[in-house]
Structure 1
Amino acid sequence: MARRKRPEEHENHERWLVSYADFITLLFAFFVVMYAISSVNEGKYRVLSDSLITAFRNDPAAQVATIRVDQAQGQPKRIVQPLKSQTGSPTPSPALEEETRRMRGMAGSLRTTLGPLINQGKVRVTQSKRGIAVEIADSVLFQTAKADLQPQSVAALTAVARLVSQTDNLIQVEGHTDNQPINSLQYPSNWELSAARAASVVRLFADENVAPQRMVAIGYGEYRPVESNDSDAGRARNRRVTLNILADNRDDVSVLPPDPHHQAASAP
């Protein structure tokens, strides 16, 4: 039998449509992605707009808003922060300014009350961010190797106590000695002597209606000198009692870091 011929296949002139369709699909996907990237997040735009308007108003009490994206929900959050000055520090609050004025006034009253002793170089009153420091030479308060207040010092300390009794600031009383050893039955070392001297001042303040829970007595002994102990003048300067009237009211003053040198103290 004769073999039957296979019918001839016609050439497909529409194969290009497959490639074209793929190209169009990819191009469409590309434009969708570009549109999604370029679309403006209305929430972020409003927060940024409010922040710029607030900043350019130059309002001292103004606040700056920043944007933080919540990773869980993917939504922007408006975080309000104090407007910083040109120096980079936050604008002081009215309460802080009032506290600063009050402490400055108290320091002025202390300088007036202790004026004669300040003129004699036996008392120093300095003010810093930490508060007010009243440094009193031990010769004004005590006899050598004693912790009992001398009668002539009671009047000055009473005046100071009456001033601070009208406030609610915490008070830290520090006792300091020089490096000369002491070894008596009552005070085996300078630790005991310095602590007893600080306690004597605290007791007088308590007797003048200063709330005991506001005060703490600390004995530093010879280990916080402000001058060298190699000279009589230096040792005399190191024998002192310092009253720290703290600017901020904290629950426990005893945990505060010491500031023996008062390096941050400013001039009146």
Structure 2
Amino acid sequence: MARKPKHEEHVNHEAWAIPYGDLITLLLAFFVVMYAISSVNEGKMRVLSEAMVVAFGGPPRAMNPIDVGDFTPRRAVREENLDLMSLTRPIPHPAGIQADLPMSRLPPQRVTTPAQDPELARVGAELERKLAQLVEEGAVRIHHGKDWLEVEIRADILYPSGSAELTSEAERVIAEIGAVLVDFTYPLRIEGHTDNLPIATERYPSNWELSAARAASVVHVLGGGGVAPERMTLAGYGEFRPVAANSDADGRNRNRRVTIIVLGDSEVQPPPPGARA
């Protein structure tokens, strides 16, 4: 009897596609899991986990605190004190500060309101009395704040152009200011400012050096008049803190100035130029 011829088995040349597809699927699942892990919110995940454990009757993962004594649990206190409406209320802008300024630039306690400290108010009144003529001429400006007092002196009555050497008249004015301040213990900050016109001399390579030297000359006169040196600090800001535009002569003249700031508290920072009337 003749044998049946054996049929050759068909070779599937595309069998590799099945494990390849499985590999791609596994890789996709792996990357999805990795992405989910990388962007998980731990706080929300912890809350969800605890809720699932409680819902399915499992033991809680966190130990419940045991209250000792008569007090309200912290969570209850937070819930009682939480005012959800306060989270959506607009933040009022303090008087004297422009509403369109970014909140990051709004300095705390810089509103130019009458000084509340009676002693600080007395200092301001005495300075206004002694410098009345210069205040009337506009050469000196006195700004009152809640926790600070500032005396702004135009540089053209203090120094020759491009110099930090006080004139004799300027020394007299500074001495009068020092005579008022010597009887008080408030910290003082003396600041020097210039306009934006560049200077490049051997003694003053830039406006930084010029403004600092002008502030230092005022410090020396105040110290010579009896003001305690440990009460005073100085700073030179060059042209970088203007109070007026440098586009005209009047604005540049306003920016060339020395300010003596009386701080009602050692923790109070001096007011920036844009936050005063």
Is the shorter-chain TM-score for this pair beyond 0.5, marking a shared fold? yes
Higher strand share: 1
Identity percentage over the alignment? Answer: 39
Contact 1:99–1:247 at 8 Å: present in 2 too?
no
Q: How large is the RMSD of aligned CA atoms in angstroms?
A: 2.0
Q: 1:101 to 1:258 in 2, by over 3 A?
A: closer
State the Cα deviation string for residues 20-58 of structure 1 (Å, max 9, x = none).
xxxxxxxxxxxxxxxxxxxxxxxxxxxxxxxxxxxxxxx
Q: Partner letter of residue 130 of structure 1? A: D
1:233 is paired with a residue of what secondary structure? helix
Runs of 4+ in 1 over 6 A off after TM superposition: none
Contact 2:116–2:147 at 8 Å: present in 1 too?
no
Q: 1:154 to 1:111 in 2, by over 3 A?
A: same
Larger Rg: 1
Contact 1:168–1:249 at 8 Å: present in 2 too?
no
Contact 1:195–1:219 at 8 Å: present in 2 too?
yes
Q: Partner letter of residue 75 of structure 1? A: D
Contact 1:228–1:235 at 8 Å: present in 2 too?
yes
Match of 2:171 in 1: 154
Match of 1:51 in 2: none
2:272 is the alignment partner of 1:259: yes
Match of 2:140 in 1: 123
What is the rounded CA distance, in whole Å, between the counterparts of 1:139 and 1:72 in structure 2?
71
2:117 is paired with a residue of what secondary structure? helix
TM-score (norm. length: structure 2): 0.58
Contact 2:148–2:270 at 8 Å: present in 1 too?
no
Contact 2:117–2:147 at 8 Å: present in 1 too?
no
Matches within 5 A, 1:1-268: 73-76=68-71, 100-250=117-267, 256=269, 258-263=271-276, 265=277
What is the rounded CA distance, in whole Å, between the counterparts of 2:66 and 2:134 in structure 1?
64
Contact 1:133–1:244 at 8 Å: present in 2 too?
yes
Q: Partner letter of residue 76 of structure 1? A: F
Contact 2:150–2:262 at 8 Å: present in 1 too?
yes
TM-score (norm. length: structure 1): 0.60
Contact 2:192–2:259 at 8 Å: present in 1 too?
yes
Q: Partner letter of residue 129 of structure 2? A: T
* Structure 2 segments unaligned to the other structure (5+ residues): 1-64, 73-114
Q: Give 1:257 shift.
A: 5.8
Contact 2:187–2:262 at 8 Å: present in 1 too?
yes
State the Cα deviation string for residues 44-90 of structure 1 (Å, max 9, x = none).
xxxxxxxxxxxxxxxxxxxxxxxxxx97524239xxxxxxxxxxxxx
Q: Partner letter of residue 191 of structure 2? A: E
